[in-house]
Structure 1
Amino acid sequence: MKESWRWYGPFDNIALWEVAQTGASGIVTALHEVPYGEVWTREAIAARKAEIAAAGLDWVMVESLPVHERIKRGDGDLSGLFANYRQSMANLAAEGVTGICYNFMPLIDWTRTDLKAPAKSGGTCLRFDAARMAAFELHMLGRAEAEADYPAEVVVRAGQWHAASTEADRAALLSAIMSGLPGAFERYDIEGLREALTLYHGVGAEELRGNYKRFLEEVVPAAEDLGVRLCVHPDDPPRDILGLPRVVSDAEDIAWVLGVVESPANGLTLCSGSLGANPANDLPAIARRFADRIHFAHLRNVAKEPDGSFEEAPHLDGDTDMVDLVRALVEEEARRRSAGRADAEIVMRPDHGHELLADSERNNPPGYPLIGRLRGLAELRGVARALSAPYAMAV
């Protein structure tokens, strides 16, 4: 697999020379400074690519080229936004960057309630606590209908947490939830979030799928012509949040996405942590089912709890059989090489790591520490190398 590293460009305090020392050869990044919906100019892309190349690294995947919220809502005349998206793809392709990860999650990207939950072996990790999320929805946001979205005992604990919480506790919870938008320009306070949610009134799962289908129909043919591979990132967590529908949460959702516009350019980012938070998802089985359309892999693990809570686990621990998942990807790479495919190598990056050792002294984006991800990359590299050995492939 092509080992890569997510880097936030001018917003990242991890330097490219440090990334080079991890052993990763590829960079996954975006022009986070460009507002959503605007064109990424060829000049800006070339400058970022040159900066990466100067460190001896390659820009191997865009993460992400954001889909504007108006497209997700199907709001008004979208021709200009679709044209801008296609132009950004064309400019990326002209500079040799042909892999584009994106998501179709309404309003909020990945959602966590704790950014520094204590990990069992020391350090800290990201956590989604069902009771605190319910407290946020019910008691801070005032979304009474959210009571139906949580088990009764979670609703009780949510009320207890809120009653005992301080203003600082509630501010920290809001900040954690908003931190799922590391490259976004908008941050919401409670009133701002309520107002933003009203824009999605009337947009249920069926409507969102219709808007998603339109997006794919508008951009996938252009991607085909450009030699670009689009790959959707699954919902994180894979469940409805804040009353907003999510439509890339399980195997059947993925089958719909890949089938609604049938094309190699319409692919999947296999995020084992996002999909792994759904108890119904079998990650190795999903990888094998959609193997030929996987263009990018985010490898991380989660430990789930019966009430819907989960937290980031070490990469080789947690609930997903990471060895079998990597085996599925290695097998797919071997099949692609045998078929003579130019895209035989799957781009992989270690996803959310624990904050370990000196990571706590650096102001890293949540989930993206240096040492914690380095540990994950080293573990995943060892698994992949072992499974790629001639004797292993013959078994």
Structure 2
Amino acid sequence: MRMTMRWFGEGNDHVPLHHIKQIPGVEGIVWSLHDIPAGEEWPLDRILEVKNQAESHGLHIEVVESVNVHEDIKLGLPSRDYYINNYIKTIEKLAEAGVKVICYNFMPVFDWTRTNLYKEMADGSTALFLEKDKIRDIDPNQLVQTIAKDSSYTMPGWEPERLEQLTTLFEKYKEVTEEDLWSNLQYFLEKVITAAKENDIKMGIHPDDPPWSVFGLPRIMTNKKSLQRLLNLVDDPYNGLTLCSGSLGADPYNDIPEMIHEFSDRIHYAHVRNVKTYENGDFIETSHRTKDGSIDIYKVMEAYYDTEFNGYIRPDHGRHIWGEQCRPGYGLYDRGLGIMYLWGIWDTLERNFTRQVSS
């Protein structure tokens, strides 16, 4: 496996590159141009600027997370061809810079959703938390008004500059079914995968987080069946997955190791994190350690080892520990601990395999 760590860029991330470089086994950063609105073509000079920053610390930029998909593409509007064309131009420029994988998602309006960004845990650390009933029947328009009054609510999709658009977007999605969303995703992939293949960049879709509908919006990347359907839409090795154990693991019925074995040849990028799920559907993100959550992280890593995974991987959201002031879920300390836990499992698996062969 090829260990990476997400980095939000100079001036936008409190974690400097020279600190990331000090984490054993990390070879690259997972990055994006977060200030470029979805649908706009990325400038080559900006891409090369990040490449130079990373390489000056001995790190690569081979994974981008994310090149966001414009809402008009998800809605299937006539303007989608313009935005898909911009997406293809961005793919071509990323290829010039040596990018190998693009992570993206097809979640309407929002990226991941939580109800508490700093839920206190028993040990005094805080973590991302979702209280399922709190958003089950909430009025989206009332939600927009609430968020507008609280600028500290900084989840993806809730940025202040987007709030004025949210009410309009909710209205547009009222008539969009899950089958409509599938159809629009297929249209997007049929155009984009050809360009990705020509530029030797693999596309890895991220599952919905959480893996069920929120605010009445359709969500389609939620389980093993939907992942298989995605791969069948355009049956090409360049159409693949970003398999996230935390997103899918929020649903206790999802068997993550089974998915890894099933889709091993189409997993281009992996997120590994643990969550503790509750009977009422709530969940909180924990340390990566298996005993702290509901996902058997050892079994997850064993599945990657058994399938000879040589793709990119990173620790996903971490807790906020030791008083660190950081972007929700993206502190240095707990993600660094997570990396070493994953390496510890991997080293053990390698040693056990060597012993079995030698005996």
Instruction: With the length of structure 1 as denominator, give the TM-score of the two structures.
Output: 0.84
- For residue 300 of structure 1, what is the aligned residue in structure 2? 273
Q: What is the percent sequence identity of the aligned residues? A: 37
Per-residue deviation, residues 262-284 of structure 1 (Å, max 9, x unmatched): 01100000100000011210010
Residue matched to 1:356:
321
Quick one: distance in 2 between partners of 1:52 and 1:260?
35
**Structure 1's 100 and 345: CA in aligned 2 closer, same or farther, altered over 3 A?**
same
The structural deviation recorded for 1:140 is 3.8
Determine the C-alpha separation between the residues in 2 that align with 1:393 and 1:246: 44
Give distance in 2, aligned partners of 1:289 and 1:393. Answer: 25
Whole-angstrom CA distance in 1 between matches of 2:281 and 2:149:
17
> What CA deviation, in whole Å up to 9, does each residue of 1:199-230 have, x standing for no partner?
21211101000000000001001111111110
Greater Cα offset, 207-216 or 26-35? 26-35
- Give unmatched runs, 5+ long, in structure 2: none
Q: From the superposition, tell whether residues 132 and 257 of structure 1 become closer, same or farther in structure 2 (CA, over 3 Å).
A: same
Q: Distance in 2 between matches of 1:255 and 1:392?
A: 36
Find the counterpart in structure 1 of residue 9 from structure 2. 9
Distance in 2 between the 1:393 and 1:201 partners? 57
Other-structure match for 2:343: 381
Give CA deviations for 1:175-198 in whole Å, capped at 9, x if unaligned: 67651348x674427xx5333200
Answer yes or no: is 1:263 the counterpart of 2:264. no
After TM superposition, give the deviation of residue 138 of structure 1 in Å: 8.0
| Letter in structure 1 aligned against 2:296 | D
Report matched runs for 1:236-247 at 5 Å: 236-247=209-220
The 1-side partners of 2:73 and 2:349 are apart by 42
Is the contact between residue 141 and residue 167 of structure 2 (CA under 8 Å) also seen in structure 1? no
State the partner residue of 2:23. 22
Report the CA distance shift for 1:79/1:196 in structure 2 as closer, same or farther (over 3 A).
Answer: closer
Distance in 2 between the 1:63 and 1:391 partners?
A: 35
SS in 1 for 2:329: coil
Q: Pick the aligned partner of 2:155 from 142, 159, 179.
A: 179
Which residue of 54, 57, 60 maps to 1:55? 57
2:182 aligned with 1:209, yes or no? yes
User: Contact between 1:268 and 1:296, CA under 8 Å: does it hold in 2?
Assistant: yes
* Alpha-carbon separation, structure 2, partners of 1:173 and 1:133: 18
Hey, what's the Cα distance between the residues in 2 that align with 1:210 and 1:232?
Answer: 15
- Cα distance in structure 2, aligned partners of 1:352 and 1:174: 23
**Residues 292, 173 of structure 1: CA spacing in aligned structure 2 closer, same or farther, 3 A cutoff?**
farther
Q: Secondary structure at the match of 1:133?
A: helix
8 Å contact kept, 2:147–2:153: no
TM-score w.r.t. the length of structure 2 is 0.92
**CA deviation after TM superposition for structure 1 residue 385, in Å:** 1.5
Answer yes or no: is the 8 Å Cα contact 1:387–1:393 preserved in 2: no
Of stretches 310-319 and 238-247 in structure 1, the one that deviates more from structure 2 is: 310-319
SS of residue paired to 2:185 = helix
Q: Distance in 2 between matches of 1:127 and 1:216?
A: 32
Q: How many correspondences in the alignment?
A: 353
In the TM superposition, residue 94 of structure 1 has moved relative to its aligned partner by 1.2
Aligned residues of 1:113 and 1:176 also touching (Cα < 8 A): no
Aligned-pair Cα RMSD in Å? 2.3
Shift of 1:393: 6.8
Question: SS at 1:60's partner residue?
Answer: strand
1:41 CA displacement: 2.1
Of 169, 183, 188, the match for 1:196: 169
**AA in 2 matched with 1:234:** P
Other-structure match for 1:118: 120
CA–CA distance in structure 2, aligned partners of residues 2 and 258 of structure 1 = 23
SS at match of 1:90: helix
The aligned counterpart of 1:36 is 38
Larger mean CA deviation between 133-142 and 233-242 belongs to 133-142
Q: From 316, 322, 325, give the equivalent of 2:300.
A: 325
Deviations 1:273-326 (A, max 9, x none): 000011210010011110110010100011111111111021123111111111
Question: Secondary structure of 1:245's partner?
Answer: coil
Residue 345 (structure 1) aligns with: 310
The structure with the largest helix share of the pair is 1
Q: What's 1:224 paired with?
A: 197
Does the 8 A contact of 2:72 with 2:79 survive in 1?
A: no
Partner of 2:103: 101
Structure 1 CA distance for aligned equivalents of residues 39 and 78 of structure 2: 14
Rounded to whole Å, the distance in 2 between the matches of 1:172 and 1:18 is: 35
Cα distance between partner residues in 2 of 1:269 and 1:278: 17
Contact 1:40 1:88 in 2 (8 A): yes
Asked if structure 1 preserves the Cα contact closer than 8 Å seen for 2:136 and 2:215, the reply is: no
1:99·1:230 contact (CA, 8 Å) conserved in 2? yes
Indicate conservation of the 8 Å contact 1:112/1:177, yes or no: no
Mapping of residues 137-152 of structure 1, within 5 Å: 137=139, 140-141=142-143
Do the aligned partners of 1:99 and 1:229 also contact (CA within 8 Å) in 2? yes
